[in-house]
Structure 1
Amino acid sequence: MTVVTFVSALSLAAWLWLLLARGFFWRTDVRLPAREEPAVWPSVCVVVPARDEAAVLPASLPSLLAQDYPGRAEVFLIDDGSTDGTGGLACELARRHGGLPLTVTSPGEPPAGWTGKLWAVRHGIDLARAREPEYLLLTDADIAHAPDSLRALVSAAGTGGFDVVSQMARLRVESLWERLVVPAFVYFFAQLYPFRWIGGGGAGAGSGRRNGTRTAAAAGGCVLLRTGAAERARIPDAIRHAVIDDVALARAVKGCGGRVWLGLADGVDSVRPYPRLHDLWRMVSRSAYAQLRHNPLVLAGTVVGLALVYLVPPASVFVGLAAGQGATAVLGGAAWLVMAGTYLPMLRYYRQPWWLAPLLPFTAFLYLLMTVDSAVQHYRGRGAAWKGRTYARPDAVPEEG
């Protein structure tokens, strides 16, 4: 057996393991679990951190204000130092559309050790506490919600006894680059954090036997959080410096004994466009190295792993055919086939054509470059940059006294 053939066999073995032993991450049937509407609807405060979001607010904020929720609910939009009139536009949209009460306020610049988003979230939660809500809905300013979104989230949390119910918003897929990159982004996220391992029981979420695992994640665009759980986990203070704040939030809640559920959304959509590759590149690279804990060894292992799993299969096919090594070509082709097959459900979820599935190695190569670029920007002092702010890695953040 040649080295190339051995590596091809290793790649196929990795894909068979991913197919069968990684929580069936590739399935897209993990949706809101079975739920019953409560006899008395709990109160909810919606917290929306927003920084320079005037371009997307007209397509998102009215959907929040129009929520068909039987209980008491109100919206707090926290204007995080916007320079495009975000706060004023939010007030105008509320006057024009009516619906749930809206409070618009600004917390000022975040102190050292806080990301801007989490400082805004803290301000919103502080305001919400005066209303004594049972739940907090943390949602981004670019997320549009179906009219029954809030009642579905609250019903699912109450029925399943969850402290966090989070939905991965359906991202926009209209431009060529969005079609190539966006479904893969959610696919890779599910591979890293298998939804069935996070939530356990509930419809489409497995038997719940893995609910005791440490796997925890949430999708920051839509997080329903029980107020009591937020207080026990000291949210957001305990995660104030987290760039990947949604995953940090879920880990903090689960670490305090809370129950977390995460799945794909129906009726929760991002309206933010990413028309160019540059836009998507910035979205991924700003936090990719933070996901690797700013560790060069983890980065090297990630690069090798991505190459073995995603790049070796097509390379084996072409090398095997060119060199007349039939076994190498067959092994590579089998791995490529399994890879494409696991990607098809996500493409169907995003209503994309099947022929994008064999192109996943190309997209994975782009993600590999984005990850390396994230590390390069970090060491140049420009890592985790977003909307005019650059954040230090956690071990460089001073602790509060």
Structure 2
Amino acid sequence: MEEDLVSHRTPLSASFTSGVSYHRDGGVPLEVSRDLEKAVKEGQLLEVVAIARKVVEMASRAPVSLAVMGDSGNGMSSFVNALRGIGHEDAASAPTGVVRTTLTPARYTSPSFPNVFLWDLPGMGASDQSLDHYLRELQHSQYDLFLLIASEQFSLHHVRLAKTIQGMGKRFYVIWTKVDRDLSTTPLSRGLLLRNIQENILETLQKEGVHKPPIFLVSSLDPDLHDFPDLRKKLRIDIFNIRCSGPLEAMSYACKETINEKVASLKTRVLQNCPEDTLGSCGADDLEQYLRVYRGCFGIDDDSLLQVAWSTGRVVSEYRTLLRSQDLCGLRRADCRLRLATCSVMKMLLRLLRWVPWLGPRAVRWFARVTHKRMLHLVAQDTKGILKKILEDSTCPA
């Protein structure tokens, strides 16, 4: 459906505000953060799945700004129209021509990329100002991703732009926009020509210490050919990452901190009391039984993992392979300290200590508490790994 031109094109000074009040942890609302901490503390991993999906659904509506920039005459406005899937004759299209047509930044939208704003920026040759002044005036910090447009040659201006963007820690692509004309005017084979273009761009960037960016060779006249489909796919992936990486990192951090607090609390209780008084299990010597209790306490028991796998569309073995604590034998193999604490020699020594008046029983209880603290630590580490995978799987369905 054709939209009014005003909705596609707005001045650079237009501000983007959100009605959601975000927590300072980097993109998760405070109420949601509390719900997540509660779910992790109670070992409710299915609830963690639901919360992660809720957060990503909210983040997916966040605006993302893409800057289209390069030398004048490289076809930036034509590329903007091609990416939006509209022709130059469309009333909502970016103006194009052989003369400079973009003198001020203009914002466009496309139904193919909801809540994504394509900023068609003036070409570097659109005024007499120096490149340094151009870079200062473009307000790079307001853009999330840069599409560096080139054709005919990859100039020093492009390299300066790439170095500036890299120095800001932002992503950028190099997009060669007139590959159709290159193919029609060269005696080289298609494969050799495309390889030469890519190698020239990479060599020019690497000479100036710029890391290898994604490079796409496209034709704005044929937006379904060449690298255009790959470009759209890559854009969708990176737009998702731009929107969701912050909230996902915040959730991951919150999960780790909650697990650390839970472990600290349980260790304190184990030190103050006998393990059986703390968790109400059987005798302190039955480490296999205690391991099952600890796994259930953190929500990584077999039944819970099966439910999580069903919810995320994964096979349960993907989660079980992350566990060192599936059973006591596996946990002992994975940890030398626990293996030493539970070896035959140590068991024999502890049996002998029980017969030593006063000091012996105290030493045995102290050693049991140390062993249980180690088991708690190992189960907690497994839980962190499981939660990390749950967050990833909840936002990227199989």
TM-based fold match above 0.5 = no
Q: Which TM-score band applies after superposition, normalised by the shorter structure?
A: under 0.3
For CA contacts below 8 A with separation 6 or more, give which structure has more relative contact order: 1
Q: Which has the higher helix share?
A: 2
The higher radius of gyration belongs to 2
Q: What TM-score do you get using the length of structure 1 for normalisation?
A: 0.24
* TM-score normalised by length of structure 2: 0.24
In terms of fraction of residues, the more strand-rich structure is 1
